[in-house]
Amino acid sequence: MRFNGPVTAHDLAAALPDITTLRERCRALAVLDAILSPAELSRHHGFGSDRPHGTETASMDNGSGDAWSIEFSPAGAFLLGFDHESPMSPAANDEQPWPGLIDTVPEAFAAALTEPALSYDDALEATICLWRQPGDDRWHAGDIDFPDRPDPDGADRLFAVLLDPTGREYHRFAEDNYGRSVDRDAVREVFGLTPLTTTLVRRLNADRSTTALRTDLSHLGYPSRLA
């Protein structure tokens, strides 16, 4: 999905799908990266679960200082995004969150704001914060006075791939990031949660070991028919 004009977290909140749909889309992104990139450290998208606590976490890290994470839990879903070049970065604001960014976060998500993985030198690394509880009919963001510039918080640049339900944006990203042709129809099938088969994996990456891939898939919860 592409926006017209300046984009902020408020636009992102209006465009995101429901929690279940978003979780499955995040899972698809992680599976595609796992197929296209056997080396875990070179992947942008991840998905993991903490079964004892009933949580799942989707993530993106481009290796250049920009990242997002979404925690799915019985409390709902909590999203943080960080554009390191944004004027809303804590680095540009005495290591403090931008005014209004986290002021109205529900208590149910308070613990996520102190997660060490989302902090640097005790400062929360976030320029975007959204949340949605199980009974909500939409995503929420704080009451924020955004800087007057295009994409002031990184909402457009960081989330274009995630917002596209067709896989076109991911396909564009994958060909650029991995430097080779990627089967667009196969990407679309994974976005549609088509169970993985050896044939589908080979269409995406003929060199990918399905034995090793099964290990990666064990924590993703994606449907698979790999032998």
pLDDT tens for each residue of 90-126? 999 999 999 999 999 999 999 888 876 778 777 899 9
pLDDT(73) > 70: yes
For the record, the structure tokens of 58 come out as 């989707």
213, part of any domain = no
Number of structural domains (the chain) is 1
Cα separation, 191 vs 183, whole angstroms: 13
206, part of any domain = no
For the record, the structure tokens of 165 come out as 């339900």
Q: Are the CB atoms for 12 and 130 separated by under 8 Å?
A: yes
Cα separation, 28 vs 24, whole angstroms: 6
SS3 93: coil
Cα separation, 31 vs 66, whole angstroms: 20
Q: How far is CA 88 from CA 3, 17, 146, 154, 174, in A?
A: 20, 25, 8, 9, 28
Residues of the domain holding 177: 9-181
For the record, the structure tokens of 172 come out as 């564009």
For the record, the structure tokens of 103 come out as 């002021």
pLDDT digits (tens, 9 = 90+) for 170-179: 999 999 999 9
pLDDT(30) > 60: yes
Q: Taking the CB of residue 67, how many other CB atoms lie within 10 A of it? A: 22
